[in-house]
Amino acid sequence: MVAVAGDAPATARGWSAAAMVGAAVLVVVWLLVAVVAHLTQGTADLDLAALWALVTGEGTSRDAVVVAESRVPRLLAALVVGSALGASGAAMQAVARNPLASPDTTAVNAGAHLAVTIAAVLGATLSPFAGVGVAFIGGLAGAAVVIALSSGKDASPIRLVLAGSAITLGVSSITSALLLMFPWRTQNLFAWGAGSLAQNGSQTVLTLAPIVVVGIAAIIVFGRRLDLLQLGDDAARSLGLNVGATRVWFIVLAVLLAATAVSITGPIGFIGLCAPILMRVLARWVRPMRRHRILVGMSAVAGIALVLTADVVLRAVVPGGSQVTIPTGVVTALMGAIFLIALAQTVRTGVSSEALASMRAGTRFGRRAPWIVIALAGAGLVAIAVAGALIGDSALLLGDVAHWVQGVASVHVQIVLETRIPRVLAAVLAGACLAIAGCLVQTVTRNPLADPGVLGISGAAAFGAVAVIVTMPQVSFVHTLLGALAGAGAGAVVVFALGAGRDAGPARTVLVGVGTGAAAGALTTLLIVRTDPFNQSMAITWLGGSTYGAFFAHQLPMVAALVVAGIVLSRTSRDLDLVQFDDTTPRTLGIDLGRMQILHIAIAVVLTAVATASVGVISFVGLVAPHAARLLVGKRHATVLPLAAALGALLVATADLVGRTVIAPGQLPAGLVTAVIGTPYFLWLLWRMRARR
């Protein structure tokens, strides 16, 4: 009996060692296959035999030039960046004890991208090490804000992603604004911002490789401390670990690795999320991999394999030599989107399905006299609309507008107002459409975080519109509108089919929406970088939510959609009052809940699509305006909906006015301004909801 008992642990250790060897071989084989495929793939014929001949010194000089000058620099970039991101993500997930933590979801990549863009705007010529330093400062700032917002006793995996997504959206808006304001100083940064392996030689990669090697080595050497963190803070402290200092140390190392990767290739998305998750899944069957000294190293190798696989897939799908200019980050973003949507089905949300119903609503005056509040909002909207017509790079007077209406204005005034009035009207109508859409989605899903932009519906609509613009030789506004409708409809189906469910909290729907938006954004980037520079600049401006070039004819779909929505909602407002609280009460009163949800989501999709087709992507309006309306007049939709529409119109019209005047004669798209305004509100809302379950 003693011999048998003694043999059992030895047998278990033997099986564990064999499983560890098998897992390592599996990952290494994946890496080698990806390396070979990467080196043999391209416009110049180079098969495995020719590659072996080069290794043995018997290859031709032409093949040697192709490999040395084109494929090896790209391969080296993949080796350094993939390993850095894989190890960085593994460390972040261990420190946060959060399977969704990564350089992307903690806004490290976005912060680093902004910092590098600011340096380019300032005209700084950065050495490789200085570039890493700048990216590190930006990445560390982004991570600090996200971690502060998502930590605490009510921390949850999805809360971190929500905070990171909001910070990323706001930071990306500032980055986009800089790209538009300083096009010559930031030339080619759009494609680089999506993550490109294209390199001008190997010097930069070889210079920065030691930082990655030392960073990964440091994490592996001190990996046992990560193991202790998984026991919980109290248990780790009882074993002598300084928890606070350990967290700071590993976060700094993780951000340094991610910043180094960004400075080499730009932010290649979601490798830091996908590689560690794949290795953690493998660790369920291979127990030794649960130790972070092994897990971090395996994640680094898997990160390289993922980057190379994505690059190989990209060059296999895209014909000709144009694949060299397409960012590899497009493919990795698609992979990350799939991971986010899949993970949304398994992680706890940390946000209650009663969160919307339990939020405070209505002031005493607003509940007693809601129509006075609506009238005041309407008066404010009229004032902003008038200001939008009068103020700009050329100031006008009310008399000029009166003369224009009478048809007796000067040529100068006529030209200015014929450009300005359609823009003001487009901003007003788009704001009203998006505010009503956001209010409907929040009510039907009982999700206070819902917004067409946050849920990815606006991004999907933008992808549909851009796809039509790029692929059709002659495009009319009708084509663009149909593309936006198709994209928004497809995005809504994905979000509400995969993000809904019996046990799905409101934050889960948002997480699926974030994944859907990431996928739509990646595909949109792919389309944009393949077009010519002029169309690229126009597309970036339009995607930022610009009223530039608005025409009265383009606004007719928004008018029609608002009229139809107003007629339908005037009859269903009482049903919406009941649906916002629970499912039981509407069913008890004979309301067909499923049919009603589909109807109102369809209205929201149409409103979002027509607004996006007319003015581009404008985020957070559908989040801010409905909440502001509820805070003022309560939760009765007969008053909430018109007030939300007025406030949404007021917000976008104000953003458009600010965008046209703050850097005149230059201009900022209204969507960038609303993102800068809406991001702090989203974060405040998330902070306020941190204790609700």
Are 420 and 622 in contact by the 8 Å Cβ rule? The answer is no
CA 281 to CA 286: how far, in whole Å?
9
CA 313 to CA 310: how far, in whole Å?
5
- Residue of 512, 450, 499, 521 whose CA lies nearest to 686: 450
CA 269 to CA 110: how far, in whole Å?
10
CA 608 to CA 465: how far, in whole Å?
12
Q: For position 58, what pLDDT does the model report?
A: 60
Residue with tokens 């989040």: 623
Structure tokens at 543: 């995607």
- Residue of 689, 652, 690 whose CA lies nearest to 673: 652
Greatest mean pLDDT among 55-59, 290-294, 363-367 lies in 290-294
Cα distances (Å, whole numbers) of residue 634 to 359, 381, 440, 449, 506: 10, 21, 15, 18, 21
What one-character DSSP code corresponds to residue 195?
Answer: -
Q: What is the pLDDT of residues 303-347, one digit of tens each?
A: 999 999 988 888 777 765 555 567 788 888 888 888 888 877 776
Buried b or exposed e, range 166-205, using 16+ CB within 10 angstroms: bbbbbbbbbbbbbbbebeebbeebbbbbbbbbbbeebebb
Q: What is the pLDDT of residues 451-507, one digit of tens each?
A: 787 788 888 988 888 888 777 777 778 888 888 899 988 988 888 888 665 555 556
Q: What is the pLDDT of residues 166-224, one digit of tens each?
A: 788 778 877 877 777 777 777 667 667 778 887 777 788 989 999 999 999 999 999 89
Are 223 and 292 in contact by the 8 Å Cβ rule? The answer is yes
Q: Average of pLDDT values for 569-580? A: 84
pTM value is 0.79
Burial grade of 534 (CB within 10 A; 0-12, 13-18, 19 or more):
exposed
Q: What is the pLDDT of residues 266-285, one digit of tens each?
A: 888 889 988 998 998 888 88
Domains of the chain, start order: 73-318 (1.10.3470.10), 355-688 (1.10.3470.10)
644 residue type, one letter: A
Q: For position 298, what pLDDT does the model report?
A: 93
Q: For position 211, what pLDDT does the model report?
A: 94
CA 440 to CA 51: how far, in whole Å?
59
- Residue of 180, 174, 197 whose CA lies nearest to 42: 197
- Following DSSP, what letter does each residue of 566-604 receive, concatenated? HHHHHHHHHHHHHHTT-SHHHHHTT--HHHHHHHHHHHH
Structure tokens at 465: 């519109």
Task: Assign residue 350 a region (left: φ > 0; alpha: ψ between -120 and 50; beta: otherwise).
Answer: left
Structure tokens at 226: 């990560």
Kindly tell me the sign of the dihedral angle through the C-alpha atoms of 231, 232, 236, 238: negative
The full length of the chain comes to 693
Percent of the chain's residues with pLDDT above 70 = 83
What one-character DSSP code corresponds to residue 619?
Answer: -
Task: Give the distance from CA 393 to its chain's centroid.
Answer: 33
